[in-house]
Amino acid sequence: MQPSPETAAAGTDSRPGAPADLFPDAGSLADALDGIDYLADPGLATALFLAVRLPQPILLEGEPGVGKTEAAKALATLLDTPLYRLQCYEGIDAAEALYEWNYPRQLLGIRVAEAGGTTVQESDLYNAGYLLRRPLLQALEHPGPRPAVLLLDEIDRADAEFEAFTFELLAEAAVTIPELGTVRAAFPPIVVLTSNRTRDLHDALTRRCLYHWIDYPAPERVAEIIRRRVPAARGPLALEAADALGRLRSLDLAKPPGISEAIDWVSALALLDVEHLSAAAVDSTWGTVLKNRDDLDLAVARGSGWLAGGP
């Protein structure tokens, strides 16, 4: 376990290992993100810049498919540092998020000691060598020189007990293992939490975080994202698809399509050699953009011609 320098504690002015030389300001970070095809508007670029330079985690909220998870991946790529991702779900606990003891190996250690006629002390079994490290502990123990990126994805799917479990990590870049004591990060990770707002998060969690809401982008920006992610898209297809997504999102859909669905849709259209969105192209690709039967029925009732931009 690595001890942490005093500068690792929350409340310091900057994050140990923060790459000030790479990103002296939010604009330079936005340019770097653009260079790896992640388009961030000034508000998001500023929020991510602060998350990199300050010790607080950042909570990104927004509809599914607007790029929250990709933001964390992009930061890890830019920093050339590991991304430790924890996919949250109802019932997740410390054994899956932080660590658990390697009980089979401990049992083997006991048997070997007994066979050799030696006494096994508790400290012999509960040491770092018997830990199975999960994403939270892996991120805290990352040796640097730059901080790792820790992604707590869809934190709103976890329950309140798990939220409370994360408070020490978020506030102090540390966790307590009863048998070993407190593990404090030498290079506190850049912590990105994402939420689709399926439920409200506890105030105690949000107080510990920077916050940014990611809106669904305007059609022109959606089209640019599509062009970057689907180079095979030809002609006006990207913008036509972005406009069509806007029309779909104006309906009362249970699961409105996001940018990820837009990319999937245009990828399918490009594979089918579609250059202009047409009613026929829509009819053959509904399933790539709508993934809910009621939503599909509602959109089909409006008509494939309507979605393609016709009357």
**Model confidence at 231, in pLDDT bands (50, 70, 90)?**
very high
Task: Name the residue with higher pLDDT: 116 or 79.
Answer: 79
What is the CB neighbour count within 10 angstroms for residue 35? 9
Give the bridge partners for 221, in sequence order. none
What is the structure's pLDDT at 5?
35
Q: What is the mean pLDDT of residues 211-239?
A: 94
To the nearest whole percent, how much of the chain has pLDDT over 70?
Answer: 93
- Average pLDDT (101-130) is 78
Longest pairwise C-alpha distance within the chain = 86
Identify the CA nearest to 245 among candidates 216, 268, 267, 272: 216
Per-residue pLDDT at 295: 95
Stretch 123-141: mean pLDDT: 87
Of 62-71, 169-178, 265-274, the poorest mean pLDDT is in 169-178
What is the per-residue pLDDT for 11?
Answer: 39
Q: How confident is the model at residue 112 (pLDDT cuts 50, 70, 90)?
A: confident
- Helix 42-53 vs helix 68-79: crossing angle, to nearest 10: 50
Mean pLDDT value of segment 214-239: 93
Burial class (CB in 10 A: 0-12, 13-18, 19+), 191: buried
Task: State residue 7's pLDDT score.
Answer: 33
With a CB cutoff of 8 Å and minimum separation 6, the contacts of 182 are: 174, 175, 176
293 conformational bin, left if phi > 0, alpha if psi -120 to 50, beta if neither: alpha
* Pairing state between β 58-61 and 210-213: parallel
Q: At what angle do helices 42-53 and 26-35 cross, to 10 degrees?
A: 110
Q: Specify the residue for token string 């939010």.
A: 26
The pLDDT assigned to 189 comes to 95
pLDDT digits (tens, 9 = 90+) for 1-37: 433 333 333 334 567 666 677 888 999 999 999 999 9
pLDDT, residue 21, reads: 72
Q: In whole angstroms, what is the distance from residue 311 CA to residue 308 CA?
A: 9
The per-residue pLDDT for 3 is 36
C-alpha closest to that of 41 among 62, 55, 22, 64: 62
Structure tokens at 227: 């062009």
Average pLDDT of the chain?
89
Average pLDDT over residues 274-293: 94
Enumerate residues 6+ apart whose C-beta is below 8 A from 293: none
What average pLDDT does the segment 222-244 reach?
94
- What would the mean pLDDT of 61-65 be, rounded to a whole number? 92
* pLDDT surpassing 70 at residue 146: yes
The two structure tokens encoding residue 115? 């066979």
| Partners of 191 in the β-ladder | 150
